[in-house]
Amino acid sequence: MELTGAEITVRCLAEENVEYVFGYPGGAVLNIYDEIYKQDKFKHVLVRHEQAAVHAADGYARATGRTGVALVTSGPGATNAVTGIATAYMDSIPMVVISGQVPTPAIGMDAFQEVDTVGITRPCVKHNFLVKDIRDLASTIKKAFYIASTGRPGPVLVDIPKDVTQFRAEFEYPRNISLRSYNPVTKGHSGQIKRAVQMLLSAKRPMIYAGGGVILSDAAKQLTELARLLGFPCTNTLMGLGGFPASDPLSVGMLGMHGTYEANMAVHHSDVLIAIGARFDDRVIGNPEHFYQEERQIIHIDIDPSSISKRVRVDVPIVGNVPEVLTEMIKLIKASKEKPDQAALKTWLTQIELWRSRDCLKYDRSSDIIKPQFVLEKLHEVTKGDAFVTSDVGQHQMWAAQFYKFDKPRRWINSGGLGTMGFGLPAAMGVQLAHPDAMVACVTGEGSIQMNIQELATCKQFNIPLKIILLNNRYLGMVRQWQEFFYGERYAESYMDTLPDFVKLAEAYGHAGRRIDNPAEVEDALKWAFSAEMKEKLVFLDFRTDQTENVYPMIPGGKGLSEMILV
Amino acid sequence: MRHIISLLMENEAGALSRVAGLFSARGYNIESLTVAPTEDATLSRMTIVTRGSDEIIEQITKQLNKLVDTVRVVDLSDGGHIERELMLVKVRAEGILREEMKRMSDIFRGRIIDVTDKTYTIEMTGAGHKLDAFLGALDKSAILETVRTGASGIGRGDRILKS
Ligand SMILES: Cc1cc2nc3c(=O)[nH]c(=O)nc-3n(C[C@H](O)[C@H](O)[C@H](O)COP(=O)(O)OP(=O)(O)OC[C@H]3O[C@@H](n4cnc5c(N)ncnc54)[C@H](O)[C@@H]3O)c2cc1C
Ligand SMILES: Cc1ncc(C[n+]2csc(CCOP(=O)(O)OP(=O)(O)O)c2C)c(N)n1
Ligand SMILES: [Mg+2]
């Protein structure tokens, strides 16, 4: 049967078992919206800004591992989506974005609401398509989902001109797809895996450095098994938190710019470092010249060859899918008669405990001003460590990463690579829709929350009962911290003056809120927010926190892992 | 180090801009880039001449491979290869220059493909340094216009780049 392009688009999404489409209508996509209206295979969530549509699709993808879907109109719809797309790109999130385009004969004519969407998004997508021929539509959407979710995941954009949504073509959804130009590797090279295992078994000061690739590939189980089997300590990147249980004694927490003293010292002094789905980011290793250690050997597992030896030369590169490579390693280790040198390992773990006893995350617990760290510890306690936590960008993000101890993967959802303020609330919407019964907390700052505050309306419309944990320090705190440390305390434009009354604002959108000024009220407020009574409601908690608190430890830009500023 | 990289890509709209965009976004140097469809109309072939340290060249080939439309990437400089570039030069050809230009063109195995009473247009192919040498050998003031294609490259013998 012949279908219109709009019908085909909607049918393709149904074929992909899409559960939610996050979007915003406009002229170029009206035909598609008309078909969405007529179907009931998936739900459409009307956001209040296209950036939020993409972040919500992103949050949904991070919390489930499935491909998120966003739909926007041409011109301003597409440009508003760009920040969201770039955010997903930097963190390798599987996503398909469908954008409307002006009709094909109008392309290039400076038509109303025309922008070169494929051109604008090219550097921040895994791939993109402009569908000029209705006969290519179904196969293009199939390709988009395939490319987005395989190999190193990423956002794929499909730009569909309005006339293509009107034309008719025979519809058949391709079952399988293969592209001669795109064949991601999955199995690692067996010789390299053997070498890596040899190196691990002969290590005296081993260290596992696990990143977002472990989360993206659902390899937490294999990682945990490997670390425990060998008895090796493990650190996670900001993107890898939850990939290895934070409560395990072998966990040394996060490494990097705001990582723990023990994690950074252990990586710095290790003799064998195995990087698993991590990309030696500048916020992690600082200056590569300071990071380099003559006697340390590095094993690197990554599905993307271009992540390997990009910033740091490695000794054993393994291109492959984390769970498959780790399974292979575990098999070899179990079969091997060799065991790591237990005496050396014991000395090493004792050294790490010594570093840990430095208690680098300590803060003033007797303060009568609310300390942000305290709120997060209480949040962990009240939610029993079982909440999905999204965050925005700034100090609150770092404290959430340090103080909410994640034991499970896909629970910690934040923008690491792009560092997008405004991500937290819409991402939390996607998470809550994916897991309607779960506790979802959005940890945010008063700067960040105002970047997508309009989404409180979306939450109302779709009954999304997430909890907003605002650590309100009346400062663009992370900026203020840099100005204090590196700009002679000249606080240029980092003070958040004339803030709204957030409780009233939440109420104006139809939600509940509470302002908390004293440490003694913190626990009570959190219990209230997560109580059965408020289960169906969005609760906005405005914690008035210490204005001058800083995030420690900190490695200043350009320095190495052992050059931390400690509290 | 100078490298000459050969690339087979799906002959899709935008393939060239993906490659050009990659080089500019990542700050890679691009000396020349040639592109045209192949005997298989679904494929286009590019030759890119670039410069960089071994690390940078490694990243360039990895990043090119990573483009979804890329079918094959080969660094021709890794082995025996031939490269050729086409140049058209319009020169002054009046008075004593007329004979001189003809002679120079012959020495460098060029061909005169357009003639007026004041000018010659010379066609020449060769490796880039040969074309440079020809230009160097001419009297600067006699050169009216030059246009060069940038290098095209191919592996020697049975080094074959196919999909
Ligand atoms: C204010 C701020 C401060 C920050 N401070 C820190 C900090 O102190 N510490 C820190 O760690 N980060 C910090 N970051 C985050 C940092 O910018 C990077 O986003 C982060 O470190 C990257 O994490 P990653 O190395 O795990 O890589 P990711 O970005 O998660 O990349 C994943 C890697 O895994 C690979 N991969 C994907 N799928 C697979 C698969 N199936 N198999 C194998 N490999 C796969 C990918 O190719 C990629 O190389 C900060 C960010 C902000 C905004
Ligand atoms: C969209 C965007 N603009 C600017 C920045 C730079 N930036 C990083 S952190 C920060 C301050 C965030 O303030 P707030 O949300 O109040 O969080 P706090 O650091 O106070 O916890 C800024 C401006 C950014 N990351 N994203
Ligand atoms: Mg703030």
Q: What would the pLDDT profile of A225-261 be if each residue is shown by its tens digit?
A: 999 999 999 999 999 999 999 999 999 999 999 999 9
Angle at A56 between CA A51 and CA A61, to 5 degrees: 130
Q: Name the percent of chain A lying above pLDDT 70.
A: 100
Threshold 0.90, pTM exceeds: yes
Q: Is the pLDDT of residue A385 over 90?
A: yes
Hey, are the CB atoms on B68 and A147 less than 8 Å from each other? yes
State the pLDDT at residue A558.
87
Q: Decide if A361 contacts A534 (C-beta within 8 A).
A: no
**Across residues A317-338, what is the average pLDDT?**
97
Taking CA–CA distances from B17, the nearest residue in chain A reads A119
Cα–Cα distance between A458 and A45 in angstroms, integer? 8
For ligand 1, say whether the CB of A505 is within 6 Å of any of its atoms: no
Taking CA–CA distances from A312, the nearest residue in chain B reads B55
Phi, psi (deg, nearest 5) at residue A226? -60, -50
Pocket of ligand 2, beta carbon within 6 A? A 392-396, 419-422, 445-448, 471, 473, 475-479
Active-site residue set of A: 50, 112-113, 162, 478
Residues, CB within 5 angstroms of ligand 3 (ion) = A 445-447, 473, 475, 477
State the pLDDT at residue A564.
94
What is the dihedral angle through the alpha carbons of A410, A413, A414, A416, rounded to the nearest 10 degrees?
Answer: 0
What is the dihedral angle through the alpha carbons of A529, A535, A537, A543, rounded to the nearest 10 degrees?
Answer: 10
Q: What is the ipTM of this complex?
A: 0.94
Query: Which residues of A make CB contacts under 8 Å with B?
Result: 118-119, 122-123, 126-127, 130, 132, 147, 179-182, 304-306, 309-310, 313
From the list A313, A250, A239, A245, the residue with the least C-alpha distance to A277 is A239
Summarize pLDDT for A142-179 with one digit per residue, the tens. Answer: 999 999 999 999 999 999 999 999 999 999 999 999 99
Provide, as residue numbers in chain A, all residues whose Cβ is less than 8 Å from the Cβ of B163: 180
In the structure encoding, which two tokens stand for residue A45, read together? 């969530």
Q: Decide if A257 contacts A238 (C-beta within 8 A).
A: no
What b-and-e string marks burial along B3-20, b requiring 16 or more CB atoms within 10 Å of the CB?
bbbbbbbbbeeebeebbe
Q: Is the pLDDT of residue B40 over 90?
A: yes
Task: Report the gap between the CA of A136 and the closest CA in chain B (Å).
Answer: 13
Q: Which 8-state DSSP code applies to residue A532? A: G
A312 exposure class (CB count in 10 Å sphere: 0-12, 13-18, 19+): middle
**Banded pLDDT at A371 (limits 50, 70, 90):** very high
Task: Give the residue carrying structure tokens 């991590």.
Answer: A278
What is the dihedral angle through the alpha carbons of A17, A21, A26, A30, rounded to the nearest 10 degrees?
Answer: 30
* Nearest-ligand number for the alpha carbon of A373: 2
Q: Is the pLDDT of residue A192 over 90?
A: yes
Interface of B with A in 38-57 (CB under 8 A): 55
Q: Which residues, in sequence order, are CB contacts of A366 under 8 Å at separation 6+?
A: none
Q: Decide if B26 contacts A198 (C-beta within 8 A).
A: no
Which secondary-structure segment (H or E) carries B125? strand B119-126
Taking CA–CA distances from B10, the nearest residue in chain A reads A181
Q: Which atom of ligand 2 is nearest to the CA of A478?
A: 19
Instruction: Name which of A122, A127, A306 is nearest B63 (Cβ-Cβ).
Output: A306
Cα–Cα distance between A112 and A165 in angstroms, integer? 17
For ligand 1, say whether the CB of A302 is within 6 Å of any of its atoms: yes
Amino acid at A139: S
Q: Is the pLDDT of residue B163 over 90?
A: no
**Across residues B124-145, what is the average pLDDT?**
96
Q: Decide if A6 contacts A34 (C-beta within 8 A).
A: yes
Q: Which 8-state DSSP code applies to residue A554? A: B
Expressed in angstroms and rounded, the spacing between residue A492 Cα and the centre of ligand 2 is: 14
For ligand 1, say whether the CB of A416 is within 6 Å of any of its atoms: yes
**Across residues A379-396, what is the average pLDDT?**
98
Distance between terminal CA atoms of chain B?
28
Which residue of B11, B68, B73 is the best one to mutate when testing the A interface, meaning the one whose CB has the most A CBs within 10 A? B68
Instruction: Name which of A179, A304, A309 is nearest B58 (Cβ-Cβ).
Output: A309
Cα–Cα distance between B117 and B122 in angstroms, integer? 14
**Across residues B112-123, what is the average pLDDT?**
98
**Banded pLDDT at A294 (limits 50, 70, 90):** confident
**Across residues B150-160, what is the average pLDDT?**
95
Q: Decide if A217 contacts A302 (C-beta within 8 A).
A: no
Q: For chain B, what is the mean pLDDT? A: 96
State the pLDDT at residue A287.
87
Cα–Cα distance between A151 and A132 in angstroms, integer? 27
Distance between terminal CA atoms of chain A?
69
From the list A469, A456, A473, A452, the residue with the least C-alpha distance to A530 is A469
Hey, are the CB atoms on A118 and B66 less than 8 Å from each other? no
Hey, are the CB atoms on A122 and B14 less than 8 Å from each other? yes
From the list A74, A81, A134, the residue with the least C-alpha distance to A110 is A74
User: What is the CB neighbour count within 10 angstroms for residue B111?
Assistant: 11
A185 or A326, greater pLDDT: A326
Summarize pLDDT for A494-546 with one digit per residue, the tens. Answer: 998 899 999 999 999 999 999 999 999 999 999 999 999 999 999 999 999 99
What DSSP line would sit under A418-477, residue for residue? S--TT-HHHHHHHHHHHSTTS-EEEEE-HHHHTTSTTHHHHHHHTT---EEEEEE-SB-H
Phi, psi (deg, nearest 5) at residue A296? -90, 135
Amino acid at A205: R
Cα–Cα distance between A391 and A136 in angstroms, integer? 39
Instruction: Name which of A122, A132, A147 is nearest B17 (Cβ-Cβ).
Output: A122
In the structure encoding, which two tokens stand for residue B41, read together? 């109309």
In the structure encoding, which two tokens stand for residue A312, read together? 């740091």
Q: Is the pLDDT of residue B138 over 90?
A: yes
Residue of A237, A312, A314, A444 to test ligand 1 pocket, by largest number of atoms within 8 Å of CB: A237
A82 exposure class (CB count in 10 Å sphere: 0-12, 13-18, 19+): buried
Cα–Cα distance list, B79 to A398, B76, B154 (Å): 49, 6, 10
Q: Which residues, in sequence order, are CB contacts of A500 under 8 Å at separation 6+?
A: none
Phi, psi (deg, nearest 5) at residue B45? -120, 135
Q: Is the pLDDT of residue A277 over 90?
A: yes
Summarize pLDDT for A454-468 with one digit per residue, the tens. Answer: 999 999 999 999 999
Provide, as residue numbers in chain B, all residues whose Cβ is less than 8 Å from the Cβ of A306: 59, 62-63, 65-66
A529 exposure class (CB count in 10 Å sphere: 0-12, 13-18, 19+): buried
In the structure encoding, which two tokens stand for residue A532, read together? 């059965």
Beta bridge partners of B43: B10
For ligand 1, say whether the CB of A326 is within 6 Å of any of its atoms: no
Chain-centroid distance, C-alpha A3: 37
Taking CA–CA distances from A147, the nearest residue in chain B reads B68
State the pLDDT at residue A529.
98
Strand ranges in A102-218 using DSSP code E only, listed in sequence order: 127-130, 155-161, 168-170, 206-210
Q: Is the pLDDT of residue B85 over 90?
A: yes
Hey, are the CB atoms on A122 and B69 less than 8 Å from each other? no
Hey, are the CB atoms on A126 and B65 less than 8 Å from each other? no
User: What is the CB neighbour count within 10 angstroms for residue A115?
Assistant: 21
Q: Decide if A72 contacts A29 (C-beta within 8 A).
A: yes
Cα–Cα distance between A456 and A48 in angstroms, integer? 9
Cα–Cα distance between A366 and B113 in angstroms, integer? 90
- In this complex, is the C-beta atom of B10 within 8 Å of any C-beta atom belonging to chain A? yes
Hey, are the CB atoms on B10 and A181 less than 8 Å from each other? yes
Cis peptide leading into A436, omega within 30 of 0? Answer: no
